[in-house]
Amino acid sequence: MNNFQQERCLICGQFITAVVGWGWIFSMETEHVICEACEGKLERIEGETCKICGRSFEALANTFRIGEICNDCCRWEEDLQWQGLLEKNFSLFHYNDFLKEVIAKFKYRGDYILAKVFSDEIKSRLGNMEADLFIPIPLSEERLYERGFNQAEALLLEAGFAPVKMLTRVHSEKQSKKSRTERIHLPQVFQLIPAPQLQGRKVILVDDIYTTGSTLRHAAKLLKEAGAFSVNSLTIAR
């Protein structure tokens, strides 16, 4: 076996150049799936964040936060029907132009292999979270037919976790075409599938992007009403 065989970056297609040193030698068994240049364009969310949605406070004016919570989450929590449903969202990266294009290739252009780009990060983050069930946000039958796979389910599978399909989605206009207000005031878009007992279980929802939090909260509402002890979420982008 040739340990120095070059692999191509899953994002840009360029050969991955190994920086040879002791650190690299001891990590030769680790699969390198993206090049250094593409990795540098993924902006990790670090530092102080909203304690509910994970929004970075780094470049956010103080007028858009109240203590440890951003204004958006304050509005959700002031509404009794949504209060306390989503305990905490964890997002890995800022939704910059580079990541926007990567996610578009992944879910809209059928480039399933791009799920591998995020598998190590997802595995590490979920491995440190307490959970009984990992539930991917579902697509409607129409969207699933169009895309060929559910991107949230793919992210879990490639990270080595077993997705539990407990939700189905009612077909609706694409979320990306809706305004923030329209997303927040959507009627319930999910239905619960008869599945393993939810009572007292800790659930983690998985999706690709956190935008307004409407999708995740609609799912959390059904799961909490069915007896889930807690609902947290993980997304690639925020």
pLDDT, mean of residues 13-31: 62
Are 117 and 33 in contact, with CB atoms under 8 Å apart?
Answer: yes
User: Please, is 31 exposed, middle or buried when counting C-beta atoms within 10 Å of its C-beta (0-12, 13-18, 19+)?
Assistant: exposed
Q: How far is CA 222 from CA 80, 120, 158, in A?
A: 15, 30, 26
Q: How far apart are CA 54 and CA 10, in angstroms?
A: 27
pLDDT, mean of residues 173-197: 68
Confidence tier at 214 by pLDDT (50, 70, 90)? very high
The whole-model pTM stands at: 0.88
**DSSP helix/strand/coil, 82:** coil
Residues comprising the chain, all counted: 238
- What average pLDDT is seen over the chain? 88
Domain spans, the chain: 1-41, 44-237
Q: 28 pLDDT exceeds 70? A: no
Q: How far apart are CA 230 and CA 223, in angstroms?
A: 9
Written as one letter, the residue type at 13 is G
Confidence tier at 176 by pLDDT (50, 70, 90)? low
**DSSP helix/strand/coil, 127:** helix
pLDDT score of 219: 97
User: Please, is 192 exposed, middle or buried when counting C-beta atoms within 10 Å of its C-beta (0-12, 13-18, 19+)?
Assistant: middle
pLDDT, mean of residues 78-100: 97
User: Please, is 54 exposed, middle or buried when counting C-beta atoms within 10 Å of its C-beta (0-12, 13-18, 19+)?
Assistant: buried
Lowest-pLDDT range, 57-61, 72-76, 131-135, 231-235? 57-61
pLDDT score of 59: 83
pLDDT score of 184: 58
Q: Which two tokens stand for residue 83?
A: 């209060």
Candidate CATH numbers 3.40.50, 3.40.1130, 3.30.70, 3.80.10; the one for domain 44-237: 3.40.50
pLDDT score of 60: 87
- The CA R_g of the chain, rounded to the nearest whole Å, is 19
Query: 115 — phi, psi (to 5°)?
Result: -60, -30
